[in-house]
Structure 1
Amino acid sequence: MPVPRVSVVVPLYQKERYVGRTVASVLAQTFTDFELVVLDNACTDGSAEVVRGFDDPRVRVERNDETVPVTENFQRAVRHARAPLVKVLNADDLLAPTVLAEQIAVMDADPTLALVSCRHDLVDDDDRVIARGRALRTTDLLGRRDATTVLRRIVRHRGSPIGVPGNMLFRRDAFDAVGGFPDNGYALDVGLAARLVTQGGFYGMPESLSRFRLASGSITSTARRRNMALQHRFLRELRREHADVVRRRDVAVGLAREPVTWLRQRIMVVASTDPSSWRHRLAAALLAPRRPATDGSAAGSAAGSADGSGAAPRRAHQAPVEAP
């Protein structure tokens, strides 16, 4: 069986309501040389049956004998991938039709890259856009960047400036070299990105080419407090591991941003409430970027070539000069 150019892997657990839309967004890609690997983490709802209902030879369902922790399920999902390029997608998130074509073109143009990421839109239970152009909101993360720039920005941001898993496409050999996802209980996306940039360059795309679902009740106040505590631990470990790169100034800037981070997390809690409530509408307005995201959104990107050829993307990405 030929090895595909890219593997899209979906760690799946109890997402019967959403996973069909997730799979459909992958199968709608203009780039067609991929496999879609869904790892069923011993689901007890109808999630796996929804995936098996898709009659497409590129879809493969694997299953754990028993439910394992989230990080382990993500690790196992990537191990099932056969391609040299991998994209991990949450089982309730969505991809714009051209994301694989555009990101593969970036990786092909620069073999020294370990990771490419884009922006994402936030959507609710019914795929309505809550906010556009999230992640990569600072110019020092756009274009080709080195590990120093990315690690310093992570510490200063005190969140996940790189984006969610569906934003990223990475090289499998770089993933294996760093041991995969960190088992720190914190956001898998930023933790993995911090590891991958030690193996090669990072490229940030200004387009919004994925959609992250903020499902009703998905973020609670208890979870927010837990995430903040785990975030502090992750940043301390990052500072210790990269003391030659992360400066005291970066730590100080991050600490000064702590109230902003707390407020952002609180707004996310409110945004995951009933979409018909005024609190939800207010939170959505606050989450919207102050200025439009550069070069389009996921909705606009859906208008790309539909010939299924996997041809180069509509735009050629030019890397700006490295930020100091």
Structure 2
Amino acid sequence: MARDTNSPTPLVSVITPTYNRPEYLQAALSSAVRQTYRNIEIIVCDNCSPQNPQAIVESFNDPRIRFSRNSSNMGMFANTFKAFQMAQGKYVACLLDDDMWEEDFLEKLIPPLESNSDLALAFCDHYIIDANGKIDDALTEEYSRTYKRVDLAEGIYQPFCRIALVDKSVSTATAAVIRRDAIEWNTIPADVGGSWDIYLNYLCCRSGLGAYFYPEKLTRYRVHEQTDTMLSGKRDAQAKIRKAQADLFCYEQFMADDRLSEFKPYFQQQWAHVNTTVGIGLMRGKQLKAARSYFWRSLKHSRKIRTMAGLMLSFTPPAIASRF
């Protein structure tokens, strides 16, 4: 890989883990190579896709791209963090294989980080696009409001625990650039699984450094049939359970951190909600005994009707309980 060691701008590592999305990967990489900020390396880690994407990567004929293909599927978390650990840049930014960046994404977010060493990351708002790449204006507005980015003024937030972990305004998987040395990448536990992005938020907050918000929409997050929130069916139900269990691990870490004590009631409520979600998922899979333990855990912090109904149904025959 060719690197511009004489560049006046710092190297940025673009992290692109991929699995079995050749058309989306093509679009994602196109948006990376078109960045007006030129001093980048693009790290593509393929998790043993049935269709090897090497030809797609090589079609760009761009020496800034580094390609690695696993000999077997090592799981989403391991593949993603393999890519992060390969990074050599001063900054890292994740470009998932089904998302895209505006051409000036890096050009807009790197300068605030360069001018202030007390920042762990810089982030922006983003568009929502459908499977065909079309911007969904209504859903874009809904996401911006739900995650309270419409209420944020441009500038520095320090500390930024509330906006990162409670409001979830910061999306390190979609629309952020991270100072690489703000995080000890080798110490991130595999338990964070599919919730690795919120855990990165936590680590950046824990560093004591701040965050810079740029209010423009500079990336495009794709919502499609393989997105976590769109999954359906038995196999995908298991994926949802794994994601929820990863969320539980993260909330348990947050609750145990005294530096986040003011937000502990919120984390407890979220922990309880996710326990109920796992319980319902297990019950639908007719694993009633396992489901019951999650309902009991949830009731320790929250006595919601949803949880109590789930617990009662877990004592009924599997054919009835699985319909909940």
TM-score w.r.t. structure 2 length? 0.69
Alignment-derived partner of residue 171 in structure 1: 179
Structure 1 residues 14 and 234 mapped into 2: Cα distance closer, same or farther (>3 Å)? same
Say which SS state the counterpart of residue 23 (structure 1) adopts: helix
Of residues 69, 74, 77, the one that matches 2:80 is 74
Q: Which runs of 4+ in 1 moved over 3 A?
A: 1-4, 133-136, 138-142, 152-157, 180-183, 223-230, 252-259
Q: Is the 8 A contact 1:7 1:83 kept in 2?
A: yes
Alignment partner of 2:111: what SS?
A: helix
Q: 2:262 maps to what in 1? A: 247
Q: CA deviation at 1:69?
A: 1.5
Among candidates 151, 161, 175, match of residue 169 of structure 2? 161
* 1:62-91 deviations in Å (ceiling 9; x for gaps): 222322111111111012111111111111
Alignment of 1:93-108 (within 5 A): 93-108=99-114
Percent identity of paired positions between Structure 1 and Structure 2? 22
Letter in 1 for 2:187: G
Which one-letter code corresponds to 1:89 in the other structure? L
Residues 102, 47 of structure 1: alpha-carbon distance in 2 compared, 3 angstrom cutoff: same
Matched residue SS, 1:234: helix
Q: Which whole-Å CA distance do the structure 1 matches of 2:35 and 2:189 have between them?
A: 26
Mapped to 1, the partners of 2:265 and 2:186 lie a distance apart of 24
1:109 to 98, 105, 115: 115
Judge which range, 213-222 or 62-71, deviates more: 213-222
- Equivalent residue in structure 2 for 1:137, among 148, 154, 157: 148
Name the residue aligned to 1:36.
42
Give the greater-gyration-radius structure (CA).
Answer: 2
CA deviations over 1:37-85 (Å, ceiling 9, x no partner): 1112222214232112111111121222322111111111012111111
What is the alpha-carbon distance in structure 2 between the residues aligned to residue 217 and residue 165 of structure 1?
16
Aligned mates of 1:202, 1:161 — CA distance in 2 = 11
Q: 1:181 to 1:232 in 2, by over 3 A?
A: closer
Q: Does 1:90 align with 2:96?
A: yes
Structure 2 letter corresponding to 1:25: S
Map Cα deviations across residues 203-229 of structure 1 (whole Å, 9 max, x no partner): 222111111111225322535565445
AA of the residue aligned to 1:206: P
1:13 to 16, 19, 25: 19
Read off the aligned partner of 2:127 and give its amino acid letter.
D
Which letter maps to 1:203?
Y
Higher helix share: 2
Match of 1:187 in 2: 195
Which residue pairs with 2:210 in the alignment?
201
Which fold has the larger relative contact order, with Cα–Cα distance below 8 Å and residues 6 or more apart in sequence? 1
> Which consecutive residues of structure 2, in runs of 5 or more, have no partner in the other structure?
278-324
- Unpaired runs of 5+ residues, structure 1, are 263-324
Query: For the residues of structure 2 that align with 1:78 and 1:249, how far apart are their CA atoms?
Result: 30
Aligned match of 1:22 in 28, 32, 36? 28
Structure-2 change in CA distance of 1:178 and 1:187 (3 Å):
same
Partner of 2:192: helix, strand, or coil?
A: coil
TM-score under structure 1 length normalisation:
0.69
Q: Residue 50 of structure 1: SS of its match in structure 2? A: helix
Aligned residues: CA RMSD: 2.9
The structural deviation recorded for 1:165 is 1.0
Deviation at 1:101, TM superposition (A): 0.6
| Per-residue deviation, 1:18 | 0.8
Measure how far apart 1:142 and its partner are. 5.3
